[in-house]
Structure formats: C-alpha cells, structure tokens
Amino acid sequence: MITLYDNKSTLPLSHPYCGYSPYVWRIRFALRFKGLAYRTHWLEYPDVETIAKSIGAPPTGKRPNGTVRYTIPIIHDSVTNKVISGSFDIIEYLDATYPDTVQLIPKETRLLQKVFEEAEPGLIIRHLIPVVGSRLHKSPLITPRNQEFMNSEAGRASYPPPVVYSEEQEKEAWEKFKNSALGDMAKQMLDSEEAPFVMGKKVSMADAVLFGRFACLRLLWDESTKEWKEMMSWHGGRWGRLFEAYESLPQVEKYDG
C-alpha cells in the first residue's frame, strides 16, 4: 500500500478535503486516476523535515540561505519499499512502477509537462496571491501549530507574511484570475464537453497541476459558496468538468479504524 504524507487542516482527518497542499493534491489526483489505494500520514509543517529524514526522503530544493529543504508530497510504497519526494518525481515513479495504470507523463510530452509544471507559478499563483494570500494566513482551517510555524522565523522564509489587499484590489484580482490566468489557458484548449483535459481526451500531469491548485481553493471557498460555484462554471464549465472527471472515479483513499 502507498502512504502519502500530507499537511493537515483543522477538518476531521477523515474529511475528504482535509489536506490543503496543492502539491499533495496532484498526487491524490494521480492515485485516483490510476486506481491505486493509499493511506494518508498526516503531519504539520514543523514535522516535515524530521519525518522526511527519518524515512529517507530526499530534499527537493534549497532555501535562499543554501541549506536543503524538505517538502511534501512524499510517498512511501510498501510494495517496492521506495520513498519518493516531489510531485513530478512521484508521478513519474508511479507511471514507471505501475505501467498498466493511466500514464500521466507520456515520455513524448515529458519536457512539455515539466515546463508546464514549472511555469505554474507565473500562470496561476501570481494571479492568486492578491485573492487568497491574506485569506489563507488567517483561515481557521490552519491548525494552531501550523499558524505558529508560518509566523516563526523559519516559517516566514518559506511562507512570507501576506500583503493585505483592499476589497477593491481583491475584486480586481479575482477578475484577472478568471480572465487572464484561467481564461488565456482555456482559449488554448479543446472544447471541454468533448475533451475535458489539457491534452483533450488524455489526462496528464498538467491536469494534476491545475486540479491541485483548485482543490486547495476548495478548502478556502467550500463547495457551497458563490465563489466556488462561479469558478466551476467559468469557461464553459471546464474546471467543473475536471472535478467531475475526478469525482466520478472510485475513491481509493483508505481510512484507519
């Protein structure tokens, strides 16, 4: 069985939206499309490095001061006894280890998928910061220990305190997020009624990247809100269809007890 390491929110651990890392959501997306069962090992920011080292997960980058940085997602696969970190590497590992499951990084599009993943901050996050930045930091969904970490010196290096935007700036940013970030992307894609994914009828890593970002937003604007319903209806309902494609597949997460 696969164990997925994820950062918990204040939601019950059995709540299907408990995690809020967009990067871990990529892996949930991949595991569901692949039909691979997994359990979640919940942790909080201050635990990431300790746990990563204890299970032998490699670091995924460097901090500005040059020291190595450990991040989630991390998976441990008990079948192969392998530990992998980094969403691109994990999905590539799953493709290779379970070749009969849907392949999310077809070798012919590997460089394109990688560049898409790396371009995401410029394509989406940049537009989202004014909309969600301050909302996320003060959200009651963040556990007290994570709040404390995000406000500590170590935490601020990775999670700088948000700029506070006026209501008008937030509104403007929301329109830009809709029209520039997502709208420009939607224009490059096939009609979602026939072809809901970035690569048309073929699901791939790029969808995991987009889904991850949306799934994180769903925690901030739960499904009952006007904002979420709006988002899911934008661009001919294509983002809603991405969620439908995911939700229509059998649940593969296993819960203890």
Residues lying near its own copies in the complex (CB under 8 A) are found at 107-116, 118-119, 123, 185, 188-190, 195, 198-202, 206
Q: Write down the least CB distance from residue 8 to its own copies, Å.
A: 32
Looking at the Cβ atoms of 1 and 119, the one nearer to its own copies is 119
Count of CA atoms in the C-beta half-sphere (13 A) of 79: 10
Query: What single string gives the DSSP state of each residue in 139-208?
Result: -TTS-HHHHHHHHSHHHHHHSPPPPP--HHHHHHHHHHIIIIIIHHHHHTS--TTT--BTBBTB--HHHH
CB 18 within 8 A of CB 52: no
Residue 7 · residue 44 · CB < 8 Å: yes
Q: How far is the CB of 15 from its own copies (least distance, A)?
A: 32
Least gap, CB of 195 to its own copies (angstroms): 8
Residue 42 three-state SS: strand
Residue 48 or 84 having the CB closest to its own copies? 84
| Min separation Cβ 121 and its own copies, Å | 11
Output 46 or 200, the one with its CB closest to its own copies: 200
Helices (H) and strands (E) in the chain, counts: 11, 7
Query: Is the Cβ of residue 72 or residue 105 nearer to its own copies in the bound state?
Result: 105
Taking the complex as a whole, the smallest distance from the CB of residue 151 to its own copies amounts, in Å, to: 32
Say if residues 5 and 43 touch (Cβ distance below 8 Å). Answer: yes
Nearer to its own copies, 102 or 189 (CB): 189
